C-alpha cells in the first residue's frame, strides 16, 4: 500500500514518554516518513533542538510550535505519515481541533506515557539537585500530570512505555491497527 493511503498516526505524550523515538521506529516499520514537532519548531526558530526552549521566549516558542503542529497534522492527514507531537502544543485550541478532525477522518492519536519515576529519569531529574533550584521534581510532576490529562483527552489509545524500548512500542502499535 502506498504511503499516501496509510492511516496517519500522531504520538502525543509528556517529555520522556518516547514520542520521538517511537515515531521514528514506527515509521521505519511502516515504510513511511516521520516528523518531530520539537525539531520542526527549533528549525522554525532557527536554533538547535536541544536549545529551543531556552533560546526563545515562551510565547514565541509556543506560537511557532502551534503553527508547526498544525502544518504537521495536515501533512500527516494528507500523506499518512507518523508525527511525534509531544504534549506542549495541546494547550492550543486550534491544535486540539485539528487532532479531533484527524481522528474523525480515521487518523490514530496514540498517547504514550510512563511512570513518573521513569519520566523524571529520562529527563535527567533523578540526580541530586541543589536546594537553590527549588522543588524542580515537584514542579515537573505537576506538569506531567497536567500534560498526561491533555494527552488522554485527545487520544484514542494510551500505551505505557515505562518498560519498553522504542522498537517495542512501534511493534505494538504496528500490530494493533496503527496502519491500514
Query: pLDDT tens digits for 60-88?
Result: 999 999 999 999 999 999 999 999 999 98
Is 116 in contact with 144 (CB distance < 8 Å)? yes
Kindly tell me the burial class for residue 11, based on how many C-beta atoms sit within 10 Å of its own C-beta (0-12, 13-18, 19 or more). Answer: buried
Query: pLDDT tens digits for 113-127?
Result: 988 787 777 666 666
- Provide the pLDDT for residue 55: 87
Regions of the chain with pLDDT less than 50: 1-4, 178-180
Amino acid at each position: 500500500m502506498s504511503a499516501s493511503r496509510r492511516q496517519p498516526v500522531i504520538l502525543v505524550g509528556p517529555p520522556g514518554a518516547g514520542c520521538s523515538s517511537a515515531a521514528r521506529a514506527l515509521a521505519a516499520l511502516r515504510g513511511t516518513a516521520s516528523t518531530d514537532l520539537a525539531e520542526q519548531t527549533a528549525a522554525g526558530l532557527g536554533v538547535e533542538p536541544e536549545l529551543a526552549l531556552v533560546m526563545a521566549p515562551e510565547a514565541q516558542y509556543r506560537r511557532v510550535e502551534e503553527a508547526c503542529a498544525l502544518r504537521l497534522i495536515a501533512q500527516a492527514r494528507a500523506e499518512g505519515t507518523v508525527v511525534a507531537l509531544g504534549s506542549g502544543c495541546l494547550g492550543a485550541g486550534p491544535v486540539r481541533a485539528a487532532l479531533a478532525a484527524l481522528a474523525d477522518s480515521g487518523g490514530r492519536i496514540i498517547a504514550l506515557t510512563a511512570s513518573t519515576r521513569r519520566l523524571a529519569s529520562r529527563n535527567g531529574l533523578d540526580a541530586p539537585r541543589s536546594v537553590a533550584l527549588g522543588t524542580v521534581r515537584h514542579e515537573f510532576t505537576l506538569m506531567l500530570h497536567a500534560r498526561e490529562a491533555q494527552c488522554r483527552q485527545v487520544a484514542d489509545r494510551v500505551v505505557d512505555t515505562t518498560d519498553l524500548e522504542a522498537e517495542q512500542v512501534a511493534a505494538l502499535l504496528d500490530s494493533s491497527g496503527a496502519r491500514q
